[in-house]
Amino acid sequence: MAPYAKELRVASLAVQRATLLTQRVFHEKVKGTELKSDKSPVTIGDYGAQALIIAAIRHNFPDDAIVGEEDSSSLQDNTDIRSQVWNAIKSTRLSSESAEKELGGSIKNEQAMLAAISAGSSTGGSKGRFWALDPIDGTKGFLRGGQYAVCLALIVDGEIEVGVLGCPNLPVDDQASFSADISDAEGHQRGVLFAAVRGHGATSQALSDDDLKQPKAIQMKSPPSLADATFCESVEADHSSHGDQAAIANKLGITKPSVRMDSQSKYGSIARGAGDIYLRLPVSQSYEEKIWDHAAGVLIVAEAGGIITDIKGKKHDFTQGRTLKKNKGVVAAAKNLHADVLKAVQEVLDAKQ
Ligand SMILES: Nc1ncnc2c1ncn2[C@@H]1O[C@H](COP(=O)(O)O)[C@@H](OP(=O)(O)O)[C@H]1O
Ligand SMILES: [Mg+2]
């Protein structure tokens, strides 16, 4: 049996089920939203997806730790949001009964739901097994009806071993034209699940497939020259500097406009060859990137044949707790482009000092 086969299966089904919940929440406009202490939004979808995924992990791997983005403290007193999360959970089931069973079935009651959400409080670290979970990455994209991703990765002794991304608003077709705009995907079936196991390649498949047994291998593309490359970057200018990115593109002779997209959908997109370069350039020197914003995507791009470093050219270090405190930013590109892109990144950033 391939390594981590059960982990990959459980992670894929758990992400599929959680993605379904987020889509329901969006379509039923159950959009109760709060602001967290850092002023970022959190929705019924974030809490519900975190509860469902953690319940599935705890059923299958009871000894594993979980580093999840959300915590349940604000749900303890807010009965309105809490009951909306509970209703979303109760009405979300996979259509395959056997898959539901593999995940351990639904959550029993509101107390169990709160306990599941709270179980994402692990501090991670360099030893043993833990899961890094972002129930909705790109919550701002989710609220806008744009791109977002449900992200889950297994980290063992500091190495990312399994990564899964559920991207409900990206086209299923790996060859579809690269755009963040959902209306451009008109005529394309949407909803894709990206996955990778370290040393065993990366895949994509339709999120709507009942049993998730049709993965296809994906590969990064190498454009004929740097000037033909397509960049992607965050929609939010305070997550990644659009100005620095434009200066780097200019230096490399790239004339195509960048594709702006929320969430780890950017990692999935370049891994399937829809786009060639992903840059995340620090805006604030004090911000520490969160491990759940990168773990799944970093493995998927690496397994699709890409190179991912920080802006200094260092590998991302997932042993440092809940954040990537030893790294700044992201430079992800096809193998033949990465060295030139990194050089341009450093020249542009150094010139600003
Ligand atoms: N100042 C900052 N710099 C970089 N990333 C930031 C940031 N503030 C918030 N983020 C992160 O950026 C993520 C979204 O990434 P992107 O810009 O690629 O869509 C957010 O995830 P959530 O949406 O899960 O909160 C959040 O964790
Ligand atoms: Mg996130």
Is 211 annotated in the active site?
no
Q: What percent of the chain has pLDDT over 90?
A: 86
pLDDT at position 184: 61
pLDDT at position 141: 93
pLDDT at position 188: 75
Q: If you average pLDDT over residues 304-314, what whole number do you get?
A: 98
Q: What percent of the chain has pLDDT over 70?
A: 97
Same structural domain for residues 262 and 123? no
pLDDT at position 315: 98
Cβ atoms of residues 107 and 39 within 8 Å: no
Same structural domain for residues 178 and 268? no
Residue 180 has pLDDT above 80, yes or no: no
Q: What is the ipTM of this complex?
A: 0.98
Q: If you average pLDDT over residues 2-8, what whole number do you get?
A: 95
pLDDT at position 32: 60
- What ligand 1 atom has the least distance to the C-alpha of 235? 17
The residue whose C-alpha atom lies closest to atom 10 belonging to ligand 1 is 239
pLDDT band at 74 (very low <50, low <70, confident <90, very high): confident
Q: If you average pLDDT over residues 156-174, what whole number do you get?
A: 96
* Total tally of structural domains belonging to the chain: 2
pLDDT at position 182: 65
Same structural domain for residues 15 and 64? yes
pLDDT band at 185 (very low <50, low <70, confident <90, very high): low
Dist. CA 138 → ligand 2 center (Å): 6
**Which domain, by its residues, includes 328?**
226-351
Same structural domain for residues 49 and 158? yes
Query: Residue ranges for the binding site for Mg(2+)?
Result: 69, 134, 136-137, 293
Same structural domain for residues 206 and 294? no
Same structural domain for residues 195 and 288? no
Dist. CA 101 → ligand 2 center (Å): 28
Is 317 annotated in the active site?
no
Q: Quote the pTM value.
A: 0.97
Dist. CA 14 → ligand 2 center (Å): 17
If one residue of 134, 236, 267, 322 were mutated to test the ligand 1 pocket, choosing by the most ligand atoms within 8 A of its CB, it would be 236
Same structural domain for residues 175 and 141? yes
Cα 300 from chain centre? 10
Indicate which CATH number applies to the domain containing 25.
Answer: 3.30.540.10
Same structural domain for residues 249 and 141? no
Order of strands across the sheet that contains 306-309: 259-260, 231-233, 277-280, 330-334, 306-309
pLDDT at position 243: 96
Indicate which CATH number applies to the domain containing 257.
Answer: 3.40.190.80
The residue whose C-alpha atom lies closest to atom 5 belonging to ligand 1 is 239
Same structural domain for residues 43 and 178? yes
Q: Which ligand is nearest to the CA of 40?
A: 1
Residue 31 has pLDDT above 60, yes or no: no
Of 156, 185, 218, the domain-final residue: 218
d(Cα 318, Cα 249) in Å, to the nearest integer?
29
The residue whose C-alpha atom lies closest to atom 8 belonging to ligand 1 is 239
Q: Which ligand is nearest to the CA of 236?
A: 1
Same structural domain for residues 209 and 291? no
Q: Ligand 1 site: residues with CB under 6 angstroms?
A: 40, 69, 134, 137-139, 234, 236, 238-239, 262-263, 283-284, 287, 290, 293
Dist. CA 149 → ligand 2 center (Å): 8
Same structural domain for residues 162 and 236? no
Q: If you average pLDDT over residues 133-152, what whole number do you get?
A: 95
The residue whose C-alpha atom lies closest to atom 13 belonging to ligand 1 is 138
Of 218, 244, 271, the domain-final residue: 218
Q: If you average pLDDT over residues 67-96, what whole number do you get?
A: 93
For 221-238, write each residue's pLDDT tens digit. 988 889 999 999 999 999
Same structural domain for residues 75 and 187? yes
For 55-65, write each residue's pLDDT tens digit. 999 999 999 99
List 22, 43, 46, 276, catalytic entry: 46
For 234-258, write each residue's pLDDT tens digit. 999 999 999 999 999 999 999 999 9
Of 186, 218, 250, the domain-final residue: 218
Q: If you average pLDDT over residues 189-200, what whole number do you get?
A: 96
